[in-house]
Structure 1
Amino acid sequence: MNTVQAAQDAAREIAGVFAEAAAGAVAYPEPLGALVRGLVMRADPTGRDRKSNFIAFLLPSWIGERTGANPALCRDLAVGNVYAMLHFFLLDDVMDGGEAGLEDKRALAAGQLLHALFMERYGRHYAPDSPLWAYYRTYLAEWATAVSGEGLRRADPRDFRALARKSAPVKLGAAATLLSAGLQDQIADAEEAVEVALASLQLADDWADWRDDLPGEERSNAFLTLVRRESLALPEDQPLQERLVLQAIYRKGALEQLASILLGHGERLSALPNVAPGLVRFQQEIVAGILNDVQATRDTTDKLASGGGFSYFFIKNERIIGTNRLFVW
């Protein structure tokens, strides 16, 4: 399947998943039912540059294509993942101070309704005593550890497992699909593959958001850790200023260092057995986006150097924005 066809098929599947997810909320009373439907519609990446969302919603289908899973199962898991993603998003938002603009009580109430919808979708195929729920508890503990400890230590750009931990519930779709196929022995490899892809996603997200994170969330941004520790070798007690980050990007090769880590993720992913081709393509698209940014940075550097414009550039503190603005749960 060529890249264009794969993208078109993914867009159609995503549109169907979100339409079904929105329809599933109609049973809830107003105004919470409208709130849940609105959250589903706002999260729909169809027709927007939000391709990063696709891993949560297409992972069951990607693995199902390899295992011969029933498409109805994959669709239910994908719809369930929409509800789960929004449930965790609302919890994260309340913990972060309500940046999404929702009052805490309404956000938490809607989050519980979303969790119930998630459980109903998965419960169609997995009984309460299914081994799947042990995996879910493990992933939930990983997520809780990550969000409760965020900012207490610097995000490590080279620790792919730690980078993926905040999105650990994404792995449930892989475990569920493999359990249904009787392939529980492949879950550990699938978990690692998803973690590698999620780590690539998180690094690209941190690159896109570095300017927003710099004032108060530097420790949570793995790209800024890379800049501080590897590109600039700044001591911990020295403030990391925007001008220094720009110098690291344009003069110290910080973005090339980031690309090298992502290319290493790709090599690790390719070496794992039974990896779904869709997951490989997903990670490769992330790498391609970063490599495009690397080239754009080099082009800008060459133009500034040939025109003697570096001093003016850093004095004026011009804005650089990565092209990979992402959304993860």
Structure 2
Amino acid sequence: MAEVFIVDRVVTAPGCGQTFIDSYLSGYAPGARDRGMELRDVLVSPPILFDDRPNVVTITWSLPSPQAWWQMTWQGRPDPTVARWWDGISELVVERSRSVATRSQDIDRTENSAPMPDPRAGSPAVGVTRLLDVVESERPRVLSALRTAADAGGPMRALLEPTEAGSRNGGDILVHLRFPDLNAWARSDFDDALRDPAITNVNGVTYRGTPLHRGAGTVYRALLLRVPPEVPADRVSAFEHELAMMPTYVSTIRAWQLSRVDNAIGNTGWTHVFEQEFTDVDGLMGPYLMHPVHWAVVDRWFDPETTDMIIRDRVCHSFCRTDGPVLS
């Protein structure tokens, strides 16, 4: 796989070039090395450390592969000291950016955009997704009871399955139901079944939308996330656009829907849900995670080390097997 480069570009406050470099190398670099990053260059422009002017400091790190990049992020993001370090040196910085790159010769020029289906006509369906934490010994009983409750509610589609290993904050049982409209969902009374004492936590969303579909999948995945209300509308639109373009580049996504949330359940006020059907688990854990549109473009919205981050709360990433179409 291609080597990955992380480039920090920092415009220092006037007269603070050397102080910033010293702070970066002593305060940030040791932890970065512990996360697997290799320091390649620290460049200063102009190559004069002024007392009364800013400098541009460009710092380049490398990782051997996209997989190593993901391992680095999974190790660093739960650590609050990383974001605190950047906050702590803010008085030394006028502006900064982080980008992710690879060598030009390592770009896969044989990869073509995946065919995109035409939007479907008709009214948006109502989607209901629930991620349930369940006492382990009670999971078979609870799953059976929930399937009975779902069938009684008459949804157009119903998926109730144990979550797969690799889900993050995704619960033990994933529930996805689709109804023709809000009245049909209200008549189902499905959420009454979630009062079972063996269900210890629920994260959930209700929303409307029309999926896009270009083939059959065997894995359903739901991503629940929250965009804070203070994020400007144009940045929210840019974020949504980049999420929605991912299937253009990742052919293992066979169906998908990005929706704004009408109603959220749980400790987080979820604002968006991004659903996909994948060819299989390998299609999720391989091409989806490893494609540069994910780690070099979209992930910046989630990365506390970038100035583009808008997703500050922990997300719910949950997936399960499916024997039939879900997003249709």
Structure with greater helix share of residues: 1
Does TM-score exceed 0.5, indicating one fold? no
> Shorter-chain-normalised TM-score: which range?
under 0.3
Structure (1/2) with the larger strand percentage: 2
Structure number with greater Rg is 2
TM-score using structure 2 length: 0.25
User: TM-score with structure 1 length normalisation?
Assistant: 0.25
